[in-house]
Amino acid sequence: MSFQRQVGEARPASAQAELPHHVTQDAVVIVPGIMGSELRSAETGEVLWGLSGARWLLRAWTRRDGLAGLHLTEDELTGRTGRVQATQLLRHGTWTPYLRGQEPYTDLVDTVREYVADPAAIMSFPYDWRLPVAVNGKLLAARAREHLTAWRTHPAHLAALRHRADQRPARLVFLAHSMGGLVTRSALDGSHFDDLAADTRTVVTLGTPFYGSVKATVILNSGRGAPVPLPHARLRELCATMPGLHDLLPLYRCLRTPDDVRRLDASDITALGGHPDLARDSLTFHASQQSVPLPDHRAVVGTRQPTYQSLSLSSGQVTAYEAGARQHTDGTLIRDAAGNVLHFSAHGDGTVYRDAASLSRHVSLLPVQHGDLARADSVLDTVADILLEDVPQGPPLPGNGGPGAALSVPDLAEAGVPWEATAPDVDTMQGLTFTLTDTETGTERPLPAEMRDGRPAAPLTVDAPGLYRVSLHTYDRYTVSQLVLVGEAGVSVEAED
């Protein structure tokens, strides 16, 4: 879909008079995930996060001062913010260690434009994702209230009402990716505007870690006891005092002990590399959010991708596992005949474990990677259905089967060094194809694949540094994709003790 108008630009008068029937009268708010907003220095206008191109990404992640402007200052940690401004949603694909590729939000915005009465009905909410979720939730509440008030007086809103059977005034529809769902829930908790939740028709979350992500513990623990690639070390330095990252830590029973599985507490988070005060603040905040309802919540959840679900902690080092404990209906853990806790793999989107994103009973499970949840065609089709109130209930939570397939690729590779993309849970090549796309030029080429160790694999070598998209196309017409950063040989993967 391609639309030339910008968000907020009005339709021509003739278009207002002849609105198509497949539009909603509601106001839509798009809330991105962590690292999904462009950040600039308020003083100089310099882009601190969000420029396009592998050259910029490699400088940011491999130079010691590459991300210096993003590190929180003492003033920011005490609540005196404003040094950094969030200016817009990501317009270019980008990459982050562990969190991997982040696709731009342009396809999501374009899809929404097709189903609203006028682009003025859409509000994008870029925010400083380094800050606590609670801070950004307060800002979102104020902006959403202003947006709905303005839209209800817009001529296109009045025209849209004539096409709707109920002819009700507009309400809010929140489309929130990843951390954006936590920010949205905070905005709707009643502490800012008592009536904001009542004025919300539905909240759609795309891979939101309502119960956290084990990958956040891996980020904070990165490099402890073993050397890691430079970009991974840089991310750990950035996140060690970042409240936003602490707000993504797992809240469910995920810490394995010799005979049990328990939740992380503040001392555990400190031991694995987190900040003690930020850990306590985050746990307190999440406790206050657990009873906050989301109006007509629709969760779109990525599945079938290998995803960390639990961890062990020994001498300050984290070991993460792609399986976790399960409970009986009475709340006790499932154990074997000898009394040992059994662990099961439910997968997820590669970053957020499936059940950690399934807050409501209205769940759409799609074989999509986390960074692609705001871009994949299957997700955009689901969003369109929800906007038009033609909402599929979605299947019940399945086991490891279902549509599509898993895709496994490294998050970081070196130019000229062989690596491979695999479909780890498939045992046949039938109907599978792999492609590689240079995100800067758009050039796409097929990848020859073969069976290796009982699974489909596409071996490849990329000669030029860049940001590349690996896609796996399945026989049932699903596409799973993941961004991979390819750096200069010997630079991007240089280990740092």
Mean pLDDT calculated for residue range 252-257: 96
For the chain, give the percent of residues with pLDDT over 70.
91
CATH number of 1-403: 3.40.50
Q: Is the pTM of this model over 0.85?
A: yes
- What confidence tens digit (pLDDT) does each residue in 413-451 have? 999 999 999 998 888 888 899 999 999 899 999 999 999
Q: Coil, strand or helix: which one is 466?
A: strand
User: In angstroms, rounded to a whole number, what is the distance separating the alpha carbons of residues 383 and 369?
Assistant: 17
Beta bridge partners of 100: 96
User: Residue 284's pLDDT is what?
Assistant: 97
Averaged pLDDT, 168-194 = 94
The residue that leads in pLDDT, 35 or 497, is: 35
Q: So what's the pLDDT on residue 397?
A: 40
pLDDT exceeds 80 at position 16: no
Instruction: Using alpha carbons, select from 442, 399, 404, 406 the residue that is nearest to residue 425.
Output: 406
H helices within 328-407, ranges in order? Answer: 377-387
**Structure letter (DSSP) for residue 372:** G
What pLDDT shows up at residue 402? 63
pLDDT at 3: 32
Confidence of residue 165 (pLDDT cuts 50, 70, 90): low
Domain boundaries in the chain? Answer: 1-403, 412-489
pLDDT score at 131: 97
Reply yes or no on whether the pLDDT at 325 is more than 90: yes
CATH architecture, range 412-489:
Sandwich (2.60)
Tell me what percent of the residues of the chain surpass a pLDDT of 90: 73
pLDDT of 302 above 80: yes
Q: Which SS3 state, helix, strand or coil, does residue 157 take?
A: helix
Given a cut of 70, whether residue 9 has pLDDT beyond it is no
- Confidence check: pLDDT of 51 > 90: no
Q: Same fold for the domain at 1-403 and the one at 412-489?
A: no
Lowest mean pLDDT, pick from 56-65, 177-186, 254-263: 56-65
Task: Give the pLDDT score at 293.
Answer: 93
- pLDDT above 60: residue 396: no
Q: Is the pLDDT of residue 84 over 90?
A: yes
Count how many Cα atoms sit within 13 Å of the Cα of residue 415 in the half-sphere of its side chain. 13
Q: Which pLDDT score, from 0 to 100, does residue 13 have?
A: 43
Residues counted in the chain: 497
Structure-token match 């003690």, residue found: 276
Average pLDDT on 54-64 reads 86
